[in-house]
């Protein structure tokens, strides 16, 4: 809430990544339970360039290109959620720790990691020299600033103004 008593709307971009696309409805049901609004949802096959822009901060790391190749052309469920202050944190709490093997039961990553491993998903692929490709199967923006950057990337790809969704 602002100092004038106006409720601030937090928005976050949620991506169900390719390795978990078959579980998207189970994941999104959990996110739905902690968010106040769902603004948009789409299932799309996503080219490498979108992933390069989304994960730009990792460019130059040994896992960057393997990660982009892993996602290239595969389906992703893109959703924008919103709600009052704290929505981003609630969604990230439901998502669980970034490394699925550290996520606790009751979180998406904690509850679904074994099912994904049973389907052949390698959660931690050794790339050598101490680097790993981590497959964590869901993403949510970690801050309002991250949402703005990510919504620009994904909005351009989808042809939707995701930055201003929910502001009308």
DSSP string across 21-50: GGGHHHHHHHHHHH-SEEEEEEEEEE-HHH
DSSP string across 99-148: SGGGPPTTSHHHHHHHHHHHTT--SEEEEETTEEEE---EEE-SSHHHHH
Catalytic residue set: 139
Q: Which of 53, 30, 11, 4 is nearest to 137 (CA)?
A: 30
Parallel, antiparallel or unpaired: strands 10-16 and 74-83: antiparallel
């Amino acid at each position: 809430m602002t100092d004038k008593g106006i409720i601030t709307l937090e928005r976050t971009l949620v991506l169900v990544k390719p390795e978990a696309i078959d579980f998207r409805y189970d994941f999104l049901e959990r996110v739905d339970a902690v968010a106040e609004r769902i603004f948009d949802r789409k299932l799309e096959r996503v080219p490498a360039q979108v992933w390069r822009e989304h994960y730009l901060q990792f460019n130059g790391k040994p896992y960057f290109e393997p990660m982009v190749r892993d996602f290239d052309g595969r389906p992703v469920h893109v959703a924008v959620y919103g709600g009052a202050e704290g929505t981003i944190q609630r969604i990230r709490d439901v998502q669980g720790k970034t490394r699925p093997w550290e996520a606790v039961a009751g979180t998406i990553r904690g509850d679904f990691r074994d099912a994904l491993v049973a389907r052949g998903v390698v959660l931690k692929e050794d790339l050598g020299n101490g680097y790993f490709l981590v497959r964590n199967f869901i993403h949510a923006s970690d801050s309002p600033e991250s949402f703005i950057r990510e919504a620009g990337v994904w909005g351009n790809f989808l042809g939707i103004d995701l930055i201003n969704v929910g502001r009308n």
